[in-house]
């Protein structure tokens, strides 16, 4: 492989974060650009590379996109960007451009994470050469996995598992989901397990308890829950963690993820202690006859500030 750095980019609806990376090294020259300032990713990447003049023109690149990747054409739901992967590859003169879903990039980071990037939340030791699952509440609920290949590499699974139907584990959750269903129809896991989902759970808890919902953001609700100044927020966050445990356990059973389940997402690393002390792990294991199977599977909270970059770096340079 060339000694030239590879280009990596984490592209959201509002901003794109670029960096250059060489194999075995940390991403460098990180720059954040506004998507609305450019026609598309090729133009944004060109502007970034011009600013990095002297670093060497990359021959390989890997982009993470906050959108499903269903073919060559990529259209964003909350951005004007609509582009062909092949056209971008040619415009940038690349030998190879990988484009993956943003949470697939998070899953790809798992083999590259150091001990300082992870907080263990229960379970035994990971099984070697067994599937590993990843999920994380952020703007939505990302779900992905890594499956071992015969040659020792890891194959990522692109998934829309955040949109599975959310199930209740007790009467209180059934009342909450019923309230949300009356308000908006189908209640997916993402409808409750995301930043906006925490607001939904909070509003439902308030309604079921006959109280007024006064907080409007997941940051306020989580802060009021953690500092103990709002009982409704506290109950909502506890239910949120429990439901996340239910979904994580379902994912572990579905994939046979004896290599571990890794939880990421923008809101959880800011409340590590509350998450570790919550019902998450008990609900993860609460699968009747399969409790012993799940008790052995470790669960980890990813606290790396940019796990998608770690995954993209491996994808672009290996």
pLDDT along the chain (318 residues), means of 10: 84 89 89 93 94 83 89 82 94 94 92 94 94 92 93 89 95 98 96 96 97 95 96 98 98 97 89 95 97 98 92 89
As given in the structure block, the two tokens for residue 234 are 């506290």
pLDDT (0 to 100) of residue 26: 87
**CA–CA separation, 113 and 307 (whole Å):** 8
CA distance 169 to 210: 21
- Sign for the pseudo-dihedral over CA of 267, 268, 270, 275: positive
Based on its alpha-carbon atoms, the radius of gyration of the chain, rounded to whole angstroms, reads 20
Cβ count within 10 A of residue 226: 15
pLDDT of residue 78: 65
Tokens of 214: 């006064």
* ∠ CA 285-122-241, rounded to 5°: 65
The pLDDT of residue 4 is 86
Q: What is the dihedral of CA 32, 35, 41, 43, to 10 degrees?
A: -90
Please report the pLDDT score of residue 2 as a whole number.
Answer: 61
Q: Residue 297: what pLDDT?
A: 98
At 290, is the secondary structure helix, strand, or coil? helix
In the chain, what are the domains? 6-107+307-317 (3.30.420.40), 123-297 (3.40.367.20)
Instruction: Note the pTM of the prediction, 2 decimals.
Output: 0.90
Two tokens, residue 291: 């409790």
> Can you list the pairs that 276-280 forms with residues at least 24 positions away whose Cβ atoms lie under 8 Å?
276/119, 276/121, 276/301, 278/237, 278/238, 278/241, 278/242, 278/245, 279/238, 279/241, 279/242, 279/245, 280/121, 280/241, 280/242, 280/244, 280/245, 280/248
Cβ atoms within 10 Å, residue 26: 12
């Amino acid at each position: 492989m060339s000694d030239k750095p590879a280009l990596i980019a984490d592209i959201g609806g509002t901003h794109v974060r670029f960096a250059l990376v060489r194999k075995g090294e940390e991403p460098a020259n990180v720059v954040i650009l506004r998507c609305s300032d450019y026609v598309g990713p090729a133009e944004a990447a060109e502007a970034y590379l011009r600013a990095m003049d002297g670093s060497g023109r990359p021959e390989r690149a890997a982009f993470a996109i906050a959108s499903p990747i269903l073919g060559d054409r990529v259209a964003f739901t909350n951005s004007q960007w609509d582009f062909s992967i092949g056209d971008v590859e040619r415009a940038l003169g690349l030998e190879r451009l990988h484009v993956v879903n943003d949470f697939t990039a998070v899953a790809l980071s798992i083999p590259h994470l150091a001990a300082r990037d992870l907080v263990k939340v229960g379970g035994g030791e990971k099984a070697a050469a067994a599937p590993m699952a990843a999920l994380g509440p952020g703007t939505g609920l990302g779900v992905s996995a890594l499956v071992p290949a015969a040659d020792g590499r890891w194959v990522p699974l692109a998934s829309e598992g955040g949109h599975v139907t959310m199930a209740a584990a007790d009467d209180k959750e059934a009342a909450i989901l019923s309230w949300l269903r009356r308000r908006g129809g189908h209640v997916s896991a993402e409808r409750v397990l995301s930043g906006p989902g925490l607001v939904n759970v909070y509003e439902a808890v308030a309604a079921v308890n006959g109280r007024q919902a006064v907080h409007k953001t997941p940051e306020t609700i989580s802060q009021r829950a953690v500092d103990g100044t709002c009982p409704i927020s506290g109950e909502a966050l506890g239910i949120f963690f429990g439901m996340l445990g239910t979904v994580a356990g379902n994912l572990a059973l579905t994939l046979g993820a004896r290599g571990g389940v890794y939880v990421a997402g923008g809101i959880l690393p800011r409340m590590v202690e509350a998450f570790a002390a919550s019902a998450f792990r008990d609900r993860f294991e609460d699968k009747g006859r399969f409790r012993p199977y799940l008790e052995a599977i470790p669960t980890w909270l990813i606290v790396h500030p940019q796990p998608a970059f770690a995954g993209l770096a491996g994808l672009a340079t290996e």
